[in-house]
């Protein structure tokens, strides 16, 4: 299953380093010059570099043997991995269609960007600055919300379940990041707000998919002049 490990390595790498970013804020013995901005930049750079190194280091053995037999009856991840296409194209398909790969990738990316945004907007003090005053939204939340929506928009038409994976992964990371990195955060409001945004985006996608399917079925049933 070497090819599957190669394809999964970016998502796993991003997610693990994202968890380390969150844990770093609790390590009193580790202080990086530049604060959260440095942490976020280092984490983002490590995520990209280590992902590339792992992809290069793990040999591609997808041509036959055990891998070929396993790929015949596996799920969507195995099916995409076993397709006779170039690795670069397989990597795009792997992170554009299934749920879990892009969910892990989005979580790790969201963790790094949360640290970078909180540090860049100087929100590490007990007095936070907000935009959209009635909603109590921090500037870092607004910036990360834009990234979430832009990524969801890119996956809206071309993505499959990856749309939901991106939405869930990034939303969870930003939710945790705001609680961990921004002392002025109201934990309850943050959890409710980001959970609502996550669920809302997912429901919107499901609603559009359901409407399109009903429309296509109705159109095919009422198509004139069609006889069997």
How far is the C-alpha of 226 from the C-alpha of 223, rounded, in Å?
6
- Separation of alpha carbons 30 and 11, rounded Å: 26
Residue 130, SS3? strand
Angstrom distance (rounded) from CA 136 to CA 123: 13
- Give yes or no for a contact between 193 and 135, defined as CB atoms under 8 angstroms apart: yes
Return d(Cα 76, Cα 82) in angstroms, integer: 10
| CA 39 and chain centroid, separation | 19
In tens digits, what is the pLDDT along the chain, a chain of 228 residues? 556 677 788 899 999 999 999 998 777 656 767 789 999 999 999 999 998 888 777 654 444 433 344 444 445 655 655 565 565 666 777 777 788 889 999 999 999 999 999 999 888 765 556 665 555 688 899 999 999 999 999 888 776 788 999 999 999 999 999 999 988 888 898 999 999 999 999 999 999 888 878 877 765 665 555 544
Tell me how far apart the alpha carbons of residues 119 and 178 are, in angstroms, rounded to a whole number: 11
Q: Cα–Cα distance between 217 and 211 in angstroms, integer?
A: 10
* DSSP label of 83: S
- The pLDDT of residue 77 is 58
pLDDT of the residue at 28: 64
pLDDT at position 64, please?
Answer: 40
pLDDT number for residue 128: 57
Query: E strands within the chain?
Result: 130-131, 137-138
Q: What is the pTM of this model?
A: 0.79
Inter-residue contact 128 to 98 (CB < 8 Å)? no
């Amino acid at each position: 299953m070497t090819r599957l490990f190669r394809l999964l390595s970016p998502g796993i790498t991003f997610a693990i380093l994202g968890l380390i970013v969150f844990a770093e804020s609790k390590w009193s013995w580790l202080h990086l010059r530049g604060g959260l901005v440095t942490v976020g930049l280092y984490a983002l750079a490590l995520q990209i570099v280590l992902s590339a190194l792992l992809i290069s280091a793990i040999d591609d053995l997808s041509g036959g043997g055990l891998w070929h037999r396993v790929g015949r009856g596996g799920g969507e991840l195995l099916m995409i991995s076993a397709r006779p296409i170039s690795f670069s194209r397989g990597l795009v398909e792997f992170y554009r269609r299934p749920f879990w790969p892009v969910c892990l990738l989005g979580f790790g990316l969201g963790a790094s960007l949360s640290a970078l945004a909180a540090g860049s907007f100087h929100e590490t003090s007990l007095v936070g600055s907000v935009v959209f005053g009635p909603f109590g939204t921090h500037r870092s939340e607004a910036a990360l919300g834009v990234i979430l929506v832009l990524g969801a928009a890119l996956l809206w038409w071309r993505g499959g379940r990856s749309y939901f994976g991106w939405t869930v992964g990034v939303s969870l990371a930003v939710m945790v990041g705001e609680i961990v990195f921004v002392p002025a955060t109201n934990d309850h409001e943050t959890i409710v707000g980001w959970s609502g945004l996550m669920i809302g985006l997912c429901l919107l996608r499901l609603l559009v998919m359901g409407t399109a399917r009903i429309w296509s079925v109705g159109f095919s049933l009422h198509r004139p002049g069609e006889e069997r």
